[in-house]
Structure 1
Amino acid sequence: MVDTMALLLPFLRGPRIRMTRTAPPPPGPHADEVLLDVPDARLGPALVAAARGEHEPAAALLAATRAAGEWEHRDRYTTRLAAFAHARPEWFESWRAAAPRDPDRLVVDAQLRVDRAWRSPARAELLREVSPLVTAAAHGDDRDPVPWRIALDHARGAQAGPKYVEELWSAAMRRAPHHYGCHVAALRYLASSFHGSHHECLDFADRAAQDAPPGSLVQALPVRAAFAYLTDGCGPEVAPAPLHAAAERAMALSAALPAADPWPAEQRNVLTYVLVRLGRVADALEQVRLTGPYATSFPWDRFSDDPLGHCLRVRDELRGASDRPGGGHHGRARSGDH
């Protein structure tokens, strides 16, 4: 292993890597310019209004995503609004009172309640109590796949059997066959139900990506499976080739998405982690450049209670590695190295 990579090991555990030289990309933004979990231009005003106790902008935002069939945005906004409702419930309580049958309110409520159950030691019991709310959200708009993604997460927490999960998956795919959130939920169920079966998870992710359009976020699913393998430390080893193939696919998607934009930031943060673990310093730095000032809690909260600080330390070490003799490398793991 090249000495510069050794400095990353306090942050990222990785295999032995043989490097080949390429020129490093330009550095990303300075540390004091990097922000954590920045909302995009549509979500930001809704969160500001919610902080004032006003639910109407959030309701209008989700209604617009549902009317336009913007399911990826709807999923992301639902998760963020539920997290905000957990921290600041007043605005959401007024929405619940004003619109008890609103399908947009129901989907946020289902997400909020499932998230709360996951955090509780009494998870199984609380998830059983939440089931009717998840069902109500699914009946809110028959086109909407987001409640079915929530149902898949609920099923994983409830340790539901594969037959039931297959039914949920079929229902989700009838609504949106390339919905990224549902694919991530299914991947996480596979990983938890068949612990250590990373070959199956990588195969599932690769098949889904092959079937998805070139610009779909599902193109990032294989690198999500690679991340799960690299952070699990369980099960049989996976050869380097599918991990690099997953990274290449995600890099192609990243190159096609807007640079320095909050929307693809999480995918790029995950990809950066995987590239560092594969020893591909220059490629990881290119993702830092494309990500710009947008750090996301995931994946860095898997390794630290200070995800922003952890992300910044990794970025600094990447820049330092590219500046030192022998740095700025594009690493390819050899089959005998992993």
Structure 2
Amino acid sequence: MALLPSFIRPTRMTKRSASPAGRPPAGDEAVLDAPDDRLSPALVAAGRGEHTAAAGLLATTRTAAEWENRDRYARRLAAFARSRPEWFQSWRAAAPDDPDALLVGAQLAVDHAWPSPARAELLREVSPHITAAARADDRDPVPWRIALDHARGSRAGHRYFEELWEAAVRRAPHHYGCHVAALRYLAASWHGSHHACFDFADTAAQDAPADSLVQALPARAAFGYLTDGCGPEVPRARLDAAADRAIALSGRFPAADPWPAEVRNKLLYVLLRLDRRDDARAQLRLIGPYATSFPWERFSDDPLGHFLRLREHLLAAGPRPVPAGLIPQPPVPLREHGGHVAAGDH
């Protein structure tokens, strides 16, 4: 099925220099989903029941229009509030109209509803939380990313999703979270239409700045294809091109940096599935100690352990067969024109 036409947006290109990479650290130094130096103090304070640091952090991202950071921090703070709600409850009580508290509250409401078998019905009840967050600061694209996820989970129609998408990209044309939400919607709405996902991802990456995380969107489409089990084959050249674009983006960030860690972990899986072992080892050195739950939680209940076993295998001297289940394989081998794997989503 053809892409939604309004998903296409032009822009200019910018550039960032790369930093050299070192050898990955020992296994006991690896960490899973490590917060960066700005988020870590806010989480520590929240663990003590204090909300001031989290409020200050999100206020700074909003004032400076740091939308990628704002999105990432809001997700992590909402996840923390699910298990440790006291600090967030005191924040809401002290500042019920705070745009930053409303943003975390909207994400938290969606997160609470998402695992339920009655997801679609429960999500419809949390719409007011998202509306309140969007109205609190009209510049902020992050409530619109939450709205896009909400629309997918509540099985909203294409016209409504397009309206949300247009509102999101008016505020931030190259916001990665919004683009991932749109890619997931395409995958969920037209299951197996991987060419549509690639078309959307490739166009978005071509239009985005060279150092934008949107450059990794085609690799995310490749991941969706390689973990799916339906639809026509995607040419191998297109998969390699998606990986090459993500490699170029990864090289623009310092080694052992938590900011691009999820992009690099996802890219590592794609490279391994494409049997590009040398490129995979190079990404391991860039990843350093920063393992991420995505994508390894897709294949193991112990994502950090899975990452460490994979790293040990890749860095061992000499060729060795891949242990069973370490790199999930497709039902048929990848050929010149592509291949398939077990069911999954983007």
The normalised TM-score by structure 2 is 0.86
1:288 aligns with 2:288: no
Q: Give the aligned residue type for 1:103.
A: P
Number of residues paired by the alignment? 308
Task: Determine helix, strand or coil for the equivalent of 1:261.
Answer: coil
**Cα distance in 1 between the residues matched to 2:121 and 2:87:** 27
Matched-pair contact (CA < 8 Å) for 2:193–2:231: yes
Q: Give the aligned residue type for 2:319.
A: R
Q: Per-residue displacement from partner, 1:206-253 (whole Å, max 9, x unpaired)?
A: 000000000000000000110011011121111111110000000000
Matched-pair contact (CA < 8 Å) for 1:26–1:286: no
1:274 aligns with 2:270: yes
Counterpart of 1:323 (choices 307, 318, 322) is 318
**Cα distance in 2 between the residues matched to 1:251 and 1:336:** 21
Alignment of 1:218-233 (within 5 A): 218-233=214-229
Matched-pair contact (CA < 8 Å) for 1:265–1:291: yes
1:195 aligns with 2:191: yes
Question: Any unmatched runs of 5+ in structure 2?
Answer: 1-20, 323-333, 340-346
Offset, 1:337 = 6.5
Residue 143 of structure 2 corresponds to 147
Offset, 1:326 = 11
**Cα distance in 1 between the residues matched to 2:276 and 2:124:** 44
Counterpart of 1:313 (choices 309, 316, 321) is 309
Residue 203 of structure 2 corresponds to 207
**Cα distance in 2 between the residues matched to 1:135 and 1:55:** 23
> Which ranges of 4 or more aligned residues in structure 1 deviate by more than 4 Å?
none
Task: Determine helix, strand or coil for the equivalent of 1:249.
Answer: helix
Residue 299 of structure 1 corresponds to 295
Task: Determine helix, strand or coil for the equivalent of 1:38.
Answer: coil
Structure 2 CA distance for partners of 1:325 and 1:226, relative to 1, 3 Å: closer
Matched-pair contact (CA < 8 Å) for 1:196–1:234: yes
Offset, 1:109 = 0.5
Structure 2 CA distance for partners of 1:326 and 1:44, relative to 1, 3 Å: closer
**Cα distance in 2 between the residues matched to 1:315 and 1:275:** 13
Matched-pair contact (CA < 8 Å) for 1:40–1:262: yes
**Cα distance in 1 between the residues matched to 2:117 and 2:82:** 17
Residue 3 of structure 1 corresponds to none
Matched-pair contact (CA < 8 Å) for 1:209–1:218: yes
Structure 2 CA distance for partners of 1:29 and 1:194, relative to 1, 3 Å: same
Residue 336 of structure 2 corresponds to 335
**Cα distance in 1 between the residues matched to 2:248 and 2:260:** 13
**Cα distance in 2 between the residues matched to 1:54 and 1:195:** 44
Q: Per-residue displacement from partner, 1:131-177 (whole Å, max 9, x unpaired)?
A: 11111111111110000000000000000000000000000000000
1:82 aligns with 2:78: yes
Structure 2 CA distance for partners of 1:106 and 1:26, relative to 1, 3 Å: closer
Matched-pair contact (CA < 8 Å) for 1:247–1:275: yes
Matched-pair contact (CA < 8 Å) for 2:194–2:234: yes
Percent of aligned positions that are identical: 71
Matched-pair contact (CA < 8 Å) for 1:28–1:288: yes
Offset, 1:120 = 1.4
**Cα distance in 1 between the residues matched to 2:293 and 2:213:** 19
Structure 2 CA distance for partners of 1:26 and 1:38, relative to 1, 3 Å: closer
**Cα distance in 2 between the residues matched to 1:337 and 1:56:** 51
Structure 2 CA distance for partners of 1:57 and 1:233, relative to 1, 3 Å: same
**Cα distance in 2 between the residues matched to 1:261 and 1:325:** 29
1:51 aligns with 2:52: no
The normalised TM-score by structure 1 is 0.88
1:71 aligns with 2:72: no
Counterpart of 1:127 (choices 101, 104, 123) is 123
Q: Per-residue displacement from partner, 1:62-87 (whole Å, max 9, x unpaired)?
A: 00000000000000000000000001
Offset, 1:323 = 2.8
Structural RMSD (CA): 1.6
User: Which of the pair is proportionally richer in helix?
Assistant: 1
Q: Give the aligned residue type for 1:261.
A: D
Residue 18 of structure 1 corresponds to none
Q: Give the aligned residue type for 2:336.
A: S
Q: Per-residue displacement from partner, 1:235-293 (whole Å, max 9, x unpaired)?
A: 11111111100000000000011110111100000000000000001100100100100
Q: Give the aligned residue type for 2:273.
A: R
**Cα distance in 2 between the residues matched to 1:336 and 1:155:** 34
**Cα distance in 1 between the residues matched to 2:338 and 2:188:** 27
Question: Any unmatched runs of 5+ in structure 1?
Answer: 1-24, 328-332
Compare relative contact order (CA 8 Å, sep 6+) and give the higher one, 1 or 2. Answer: 1
Residue 7 of structure 1 corresponds to none
**Cα distance in 2 between the residues matched to 1:120 and 1:90:** 23
Structure 2 CA distance for partners of 1:47 and 1:334, relative to 1, 3 Å: same
Residue 18 of structure 2 corresponds to none
